[in-house]
Amino acid sequence: MGDILKLVGQRLGFGLGILLVISLIIFFMVELLPGDMAQAVLGQGATEENLAALRREMGLDRPALVRYFDWLGGAIFFDFGSSAITGERVSAVIGQRFMNTLFLAAYAAVIAVPIAITLGVLVALLRNTLFDRVANVATLTSISSPEFFLGYILILFFAVKWGMFPSIASLSSGMDFGELLYRTFLPALTLVLVVVAHMMRMTRAAIINLLASPYIEMARLKGVPPWRVIVRHALPNAWAPIINVVALNLAYLITGVVLVEVVFVYPGIGQALVDAVSKRDFPVVQACCLIFAATFILLNLAADVGSILTNPRLRHPK
């Protein structure tokens, strides 16, 4: 148990170090952008007195390094300052939107994970058959197609031609759960088509790699049915790579939804990021980027920890 806690602690420390470096990059890349933030907010007709007052209010008259540590200290407590456009607290601007993004990612994951693992096991069992070839072509097509292209294809057929689902995922506070699932089905399906392809192919590769192991060959020689070889012998040893793939694709679901949210006008944090960039609302941009980075690192850490817990060899690498 002590070895596991030590490994988890090392992973957490490494993740925090990476997040610190990413926060530096996010803050100072925004600082290096051309133009004056105060000028962008007030417009070209602003007087020097108004510009100077806004710079003092936004802290732009202080050194960049001092402002970075102030921003980082606030970010630890989820205080990212105020929006440069509306004056609202950034946490209030993106809080509900982040919850919407988490809901969309969870909706897609609940559909995608069982389908991907089941299909991955099936194509591994039926490799080099017609079903395997069709599945490979379908997954390669899905992987090669950009998310926005898949989204527009789904809108064309499911919304425009067949009228089954709305093309815009508009949400309201009084909406019940069934209506919420209905309105967000198309953006969730777009994400499912992408991540199922990745997870299915990686699951297939993990199972096929294990099927060549000596203990699998021995089980087959003893006359064990193929389904039992997979369920009792191959699948338990394949959980480590499968968990890794699932966690990485869940990270993609949360951090890679920007294009999907823009296509379906979904009120998530990705749409908030695009709106903030177009308005040059840099505090919101910095907060969204840091949240994306923290979520991606956290899910990568979860993948590492899950692999350690399911694979004893990773606990004792020597």
**pLDDT tens for residues 199-208?**
888 888 878 8
Inside any domain, residue 296: no
pLDDT at 59 over 80: no
Query: CB–CB of 211/175 below 8 Å?
Result: no
Q: Is residue 255 part of a domain?
A: yes
Residues 204 and 120: beta-carbon distance below 8 Å: yes
Return the pLDDT at 162: 92
Instruction: Quick: pLDDT tens for 73-130.
Output: 888 888 888 887 787 888 888 988 989 998 998 899 899 989 988 888 888 888 888 8
- Residue 225 included in any domain: yes
Note the pLDDT tens digit of each residue in 143-172.
Answer: 888 888 888 999 999 999 998 999 888 887
- When divided into structural domains, the chain yields a total of 1
pLDDT computed for residue 195 by the predictor: 87
pLDDT tens-digit readout, 211-258: 778 888 888 888 888 778 777 777 777 777 777 777 778 877 877 788
Q: Is residue 189 a part of any domain in this protein? A: yes
Mean pLDDT of 131-135: 88
Q: How much is the pLDDT for 1?
A: 58
Write the pLDDT tens digit of every residue in 5-18: 777 788 888 888 99
Looking at per-residue confidence, does 86 or 37 come out higher?
86
Residue 293 in any domain: the answer is no
Whole-number percent of the chain with pLDDT over 90 = 13
Does residue 263 sit within a domain?
A: yes
User: How confident is residue 316, by pLDDT bands cut at 50, 70 and 90?
Assistant: low
Query: d(Cα 251, Cα 256) in Å, to the nearest integer?
Result: 8
Residue 84: inside a domain: no
* Confidence label for 281 from pLDDT (cuts 50, 70 and 90): confident
Give a yes or no: residue 298 inside a domain.
no
pLDDT for the residue 314: 62
Q: Which CATH number fits the domain that encloses residue 183?
A: 1.10.3720.10
**Can you give the residue range of the structural domain that contains 186?**
100-279
